[in-house]
C-alpha cells in the first residue's frame, strides 16, 4: 500500500509544496508571495494562515484529495537546541515556534504542517526534520573568548546531513562511518565538520560568524563593529540588517544576485571581481579550519546550496581545498526530497520519531 507525503518548505517570498507517493514526487509547486502581501504581518508566525490557505487551494486545484495524505512534513525553524533527527510537532514546539528564538521563515514549516495535519484528523501526524538549531557541537567548539557570547550551532542542517548521506552511499558506507566537511552555500554560508554521524562544529551562518555570503556579513572585526554600533550613525535594527539581509555581496555591490555579479565581472568590473572572489576565499578558509577540527581525517569535502551551481565559485573553492580531501559538488538544496524521504521512513518505522 502506498503512502502519500505532503512536504511544506516556506521561504522568504515563496512556499514550496510537494506531494510524494512513497519516494516518488507526483506534485511540486513553488508559490510566490509579494513583499506587499507579507507586509501586512508584523511577525513571520502570523503568515501561517495566509500561506496555509494558498497551499490547500493549490493541492485541490491539482486534483489531490487531502484526505489521502498520510503525513505532513515541514521544515524546522529556530527552536531550542536539539540533536538532529525527526521530531513530532507537538504543543511545546508550537509554543516555541510562535515565540521563537529568532525570526526566520523556516519557523513556519512546523506550524503549517501541524495545522494541516490537525485538519486531516488524529491519524495524520506532522513532523519536522533536522531543524536550523540542530546542536551536536563539542563543548570545546562553544568557547568564543567572551563568556557571555558562546558560539552557537545554527546552519542548514537538513541539507548538510542529506548530502553527507548521499556521499556516504557513493562510498558504499554509512553516514556514521565517515568524516566530511559540508559547505552549504546559499543566502548564508554554513560549513560543518561531520564526525561519524554528528555535526561537531559549524559556523553560525545566521548573523555573524564564518564566511560572508550574498546577504550576510559573516564574521567581521569585532572591535570595529563595537565602534560602529556606538557611532550614532545606525539604529539597532539597521545594524542587524547589516549583519543579515543587507550584508555580504549586497553591502558591497548593491545586489545579492550571483548571476548579475558574474555578468559584471565578464564585462570587466574589477570591484565586482575582487568582492566576489573574496567570498569563495573565505569559504575555503572556513573549510581549512574545519579540517583541523577533524584532525585531517577527512573523507570528502561537499559543496552544496544554490551557489554550488556557479562554476566560478566552485572552481575557486576547489583549487584551494582539494589538497585536503576529494571535493564533490551537490548543487541546490535537495530539501524537498530529504524531507519526503524522512517522512516515508517515519511512516515505515525505519526512523525514530522524537518528542520535542
Residue ranges of domains in the chain, CATH in brackets? 4-135+335-355 (3.30.420.40), 157-331 (3.30.420.40)
Contact 158, 182 (CB under 8 A): no
Q: Closest by alpha carbon to 19, among 50, 56, 64?
A: 64
Backbone angles phi, psi at 224, to 5 degrees: -65, -35
Determine the Cα angle at 39 with ends 33 and 43, to 5°.
100
Burial (CB < 10 A; 0-12, 13-18, 19+), residue 203, is: buried
Whose CA is closest to 118, among 142, 98, 138, 89?
89
Mean residue pLDDT of the chain comes to 92
Q: Please report the sign of the dihedral spanned by the C-alpha atoms of residue 307, residue 310, residue 316, residue 322.
A: positive
Indicate whether 231 pLDDT > 90: yes
- pLDDT at residue number 163: 93
pLDDT tens readout for residues 77-115? 778 888 888 999 999 998 888 776 667 788 889 999 999
Residue of higher predicted confidence among 225 and 187:
225
| Residue environment code for 31-60, b if the CB has 16+ CB neighbours within 10 A, otherwise e | bebeeeebeeeeebbebbeebbebbeeebe
- Report pLDDT digits (tens) over 14-29: 899 999 999 899 999 9
pLDDT in tens, 235-245: 999 999 999 88
Q: Classify each residue of 314-334 as buried b or exposed e, where b means 16 or more C-beta atoms within 10 Å of its C-beta.
A: bebbbebbeebbebbebbebb
State the Cα angle at 158 between 309 and 189, rounded to 5°.
50
Nearest of 82, 85, 76, 88 to residue 355 by alpha carbon: 88
Taking alpha carbons only, the member of 90, 266, 76 closest to residue 154 is 76
Position 198 confidence tier, pLDDT thresholds 50, 70, 90: very high
**pTM, full prediction:** 0.84
The beta strand positions in 110-269, using DSSP E, are 125-129, 179-185, 189-195, 198-202
Amino acid at each position: 500500500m502506498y503512502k502519500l507525503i505532503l512536504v511544506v518548505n516556506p521561504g522568504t517570498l515563496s512556499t514550496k509544496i510537494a506531494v510524494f507517493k512513497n519516494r516518488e514526487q507526483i506534485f511540486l509547486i513553488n508559490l510566490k508571495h509579494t513583499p506587499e502581501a507579507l507586509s501586512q504581518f508584523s511577525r513571520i508566525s502570523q503568515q501561517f494562515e495566509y500561506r496555509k490557505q494558498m497551499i490547500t487551494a493549490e493541492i485541490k486545484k491539482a486534483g489531490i484529495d487531502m484526505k489521502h495524505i498520510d503525513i505532513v512534513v515541514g521544515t524546522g525553524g529556530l527552536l531550542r537546541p536539539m540533536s538532529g533527527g525527526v521530531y513530532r510537532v507537538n504543543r511545546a514546539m508550537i509554543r516555541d515556534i510562535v515565540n521563537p528564538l529568532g525570526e526566520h521563515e523556516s519557523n513556519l514549516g512546523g506550524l503549517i504542517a501541524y495545522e494541516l495535519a490537525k485538519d486531516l484528523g488524529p491519524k495524520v501526524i506532522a513532523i519536522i526534520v533536522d531543524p536550523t538549531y540542530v546542536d551536536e557541537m563539542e563543548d570545546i567548539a562553544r568557547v568564543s573568548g567572551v563568556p557571555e557570547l558562546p558560539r552557537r550551532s545554527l546552519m542548514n542542517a537538513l541539507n548538510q546531513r542529506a548530502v553527507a548521506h548521499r556521499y556516504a552511499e557513493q562510498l558504499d558506507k554509512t553516514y556514521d562511518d565517515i568524516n566530511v566537511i559540508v559547505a552549504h552555500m546559499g543566502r548564508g554560508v554554513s560549513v560543518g565538520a561531520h564526525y561519524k554521524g554528528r555535526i561537531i562544529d559549524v559556523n553560525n551562518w545566521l548573523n555573524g560568524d564564518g564566511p560572508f555570503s550574498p546577504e550576510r556579513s559573516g564574521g567581521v572585526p569585532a572591535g570595529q563593529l563595537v565602534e560602529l554600533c556606538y557611532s550614532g550613525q545606525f539604529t539597532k535594527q539597521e545594524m542587524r540588517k547589516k549583519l543579515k539581509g543587507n550584508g555580504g555581496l549586497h553591502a558591497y555591490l548593491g545586489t545579492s544576485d550571483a548571476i548579475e555579479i558574474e555578468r559584471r565581472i565578464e564585462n570587466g568590473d574589477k570591484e565586482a571581481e575582487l568582492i566576489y572572489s573574496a567570498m569563495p576565499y573565505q569559504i575555503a578558509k572556513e573549510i581549512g579550519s574545519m579540517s583541523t577540527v577533524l584532525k585531517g581525517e577527512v573523507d570528502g569535502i561537499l559543496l552544496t546550496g544554490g551557489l554550488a551551481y556557479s562554476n566560478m565559485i566552485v572552481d575557486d573553492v576547489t583549487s584551494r581545498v582539494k589538497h585536503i580531501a576529494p571535493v564533490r559538488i551537490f548543487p541546490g538544496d535537495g530539501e524537498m526530497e530529504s524531507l519526503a524521504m524522512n517522512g516515508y521512513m517515519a511512516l515505515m518505522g525505519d526512523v525514530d520519531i522524537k518528542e520535542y
